[in-house]
Amino acid sequence: MTHTTDTRFETARAALTDLGSAKVWSLIVTVMGDMAADPGAAISGACLAEILAPVGVRPEALRVALHRLRKDGWITSDKQGRSSHHSLTKSGLEQTRAAAPRIYARQPEYDGPWHLFWANPEQAGDPPLGAIKLGRGVYLGQGAKPAAEGYLCISGGQPKVPDWLRAQLGPASLIEAYNDLATALKTVAKTLGADAGLTPPQTACLRMLIVHYWRRTLLRHPALPVDFFPANWQETTCRQQVTALLDLLPRPKLAGMSLS
Amino acid sequence: MTHTTDTRFETARAALTDLGSAKVWSLIVTVMGDMAADPGAAISGACLAEILAPVGVRPEALRVALHRLRKDGWITSDKQGRSSHHSLTKSGLEQTRAAAPRIYARQPEYDGPWHLFWANPEQAGDPPLGAIKLGRGVYLGQGAKPAAEGYLCISGGQPKVPDWLRAQLGPASLIEAYNDLATALKTVAKTLGADAGLTPPQTACLRMLIVHYWRRTLLRHPALPVDFFPANWQETTCRQQVTALLDLLPRPKLAGMSLS
């Protein structure tokens, strides 16, 4: 671990954390989703501490967040002597896996038909599962047609999206969030160069921050092709930057990390 | 003109006029649409009087209605000596012809795709031309896709219609109107038998009444396949009765009618 490596890591880390504060429990969920999303995979408390230390998470804050995640059914913890090992619960795994395709896809796919649902809200049953609410009683679905009792639905090709709807789906605050994210990711990429050469905990920490800030922005809007958003929408740019950086920073083996 | 023929005509006439009062101008428009819808076709005032007399229209009421129709641009009148000849104007012909397919079709066709349009009413442009308003900002179109600036639209096959929407499109009052019409048309068919044997003015009068009450009910709801309406919807029954009766009562030649 050279001084130069530390400086480069710090520059990249700061570019990301400058995007806004992050909850410790949310960072843990990100790490576990990124590093321990296979059934049976576990991550030690020491390892988590090592990954989270560079973003200022102290052991006490880590303990509180782990307690909360256990209480909420996200993780289970297994104490072995002085060390704890944490795993995602079945429900935690399911939620992680449900979100993963959208977060990690190099190019999201929107195969299959589109569905426009409408019902008078007084008359409608449950909203069509997985469909996006566009307005009062109006939902847009994509792919396999969800059951939707009480709705009128026409299914067909991808619709052209009027400008006002693009602006509704991609408001100025979100355009700005993508702009900021793209700038930060550009700084990270420039700082790391072609060969990052970081330690395993540093690699895991940067992966965590990249996925965290990317996911945070991505999940603020519905999953739709970029044609549904304003012209200056940097989702695709950010996605390309994220996948390039995750390729540059492959998941370290958990065995390679310890506080020893 | 036998007494028996008059009685049968009167029974059929009464079955129809019992469906409700009719405006004289509206009956004239119906007669002219039915008898004089070719460009250049005209119908004499004497002839109109003869067709309308059995439904209680006196010469003075006829004159007032003709005056109104001239003023509204529906008809033009040409005075030749003591007799007047009335024709539909270009605009009157256009409106008549636009409505004719729906009124006279033996089986209405709904070829081509269906379109579900949606826009926030604050954002929308003009409603999609020819589309049916289903709710706030929601329109349904069929056939060639109308231009609709500012709308989101998905086009596809004929949708399944939820029960509450069937009830909205075909309210109880309209179900009842079709029931009453079907009953009246059944009486007319039973009264006339297989060979009506009426005079030309009687034939023209019954045609007018059949088309008038049929159109009046039909145009109270949007043009949609019967699957869009409640289960006990008698539109198809009435349409079959109307076309059978119009076949039984072919358009008399105008030259065959006079007050002489």
- For the residues A108-130, what does the mean pLDDT come to? 89
Does residue B162 form part of some domain?
Answer: no
B59 and B143, same domain (yes or no): no
pLDDT in tens, B129-184: 989 999 989 999 999 999 888 999 999 999 999 999 999 999 999 999 999 999 99
CB pairs under 8 A between A and B: 86
A127 and A243, same domain (yes or no): no
Does residue A75 form part of some domain?
Answer: yes
Does residue A256 form part of some domain?
Answer: no
Which of B137, B154, B165 minimises the CB distance to A159? B154
A12 and A90, same domain (yes or no): yes
Compute the distance between CA of residue B145 and CA of residue B156 in angstroms, rounded to an integer: 11
Is A112 a residue whose pLDDT tops 90? no
User: What's the number of domains chain B is made of?
Assistant: 2
Q: Which of A76-85, A168-177, B209-218, B237-246 has the lowest mean pLDDT?
A: A76-85
A20 and A127, same domain (yes or no): no
Domain of residue B93, CATH code: 1.10.10.10
A88 and A127, same domain (yes or no): no
Does residue A118 form part of some domain?
Answer: yes
Boundary-marking domain end, from A125, A157, A189? A157
B67 and B133, same domain (yes or no): no
pLDDT, position B38: 87
A97 and A175, same domain (yes or no): yes
A40 and A141, same domain (yes or no): no
B18 and B92, same domain (yes or no): yes
Compute the distance between CA of residue B125 and CA of residue B214 in angstroms, rounded to an integer: 34
112-171 in B: which are within 8 Å (CB) of A?
A: 113-116, 118-120, 123, 134-138, 140, 149-157, 159-162, 164-165, 168
pLDDT, position B260: 31
Does residue B165 form part of some domain?
Answer: no
A19 and A147, same domain (yes or no): no
Nearest chain A residue to B124 by CA distance is A164
Nearest chain A residue to B150 by CA distance is A162
B70 and B181, same domain (yes or no): yes
Cα torsion for A110, A112, A114, A115, to the nearest 10°?
-130
All residues of chain B having their beta carbon less than 8 Å from the beta carbon of residue A136 are 136
pLDDT in tens, B29-87: 999 999 988 888 999 999 999 999 999 999 999 999 999 999 999 999 998 888 899 99
Q: Which residue has the tokens 């130069």?
A: A4
Does residue A243 form part of some domain?
Answer: yes
Indicate the pTM of the whole model.
Answer: 0.83
Is B195 a residue whose pLDDT tops 90? no
Does residue B150 form part of some domain?
Answer: yes
Domain of A151? 114-157
Compute the distance between CA of residue B34 and CA of residue A210 in angstroms, rounded to an integer: 75
A174 and A222, same domain (yes or no): yes
Does residue B163 form part of some domain?
Answer: no
